[in-house]
Amino acid sequence: LYCSQRTCAHCAHGKLFVFKNTSTGQLYLHCTECEHGWDDAERWHDRASACATPSASFEPVPASWFDIEDQGWQRFASQVLQE
C-alpha cells in the first residue's frame, strides 16, 4: 500500500493512499478516513476538486509500484506501508 506524505484537504487529518480504478486503470489519491479522493493528484490540496470514493461503478484496489511508475505518480507515493 503506497501512501502520500500529504494530509487530506477534505477532512484535514486522513492520509492519502494511491489507489487504482479497476474500470479505467486510472490512479487516484484516496483518503481512508473520509472516503474522498482526487483523480488529479496535482489538485490534492483543492478541497473543491475532491469527490466521494469509491464509486459503485468500480472496485478500488491499491496501486502497484508498476502502476505508479507507469503513470508517473512516484512523487505522490513517497511512503510504502505494505507491499
pLDDT at 50 over 80: no
pLDDT at 77 over 60: yes
pLDDT band of residue 67 (cuts 50, 70, 90) is very high
Percentage with pLDDT > 90 across the chain = 24
Mean pLDDT (whole number) for 1-20: 87
The answer to whether the beta carbons of residues 19 and 27 sit under 8 Å apart is yes
The answer to whether the beta carbons of residues 30 and 53 sit under 8 Å apart is yes
Around 6, how many Cα atoms within 13 Å sit in the side-chain half-sphere?
22
> With a threshold of 0.85, does the pTM exceed it?
no
Q: SS3 for 20?
A: strand
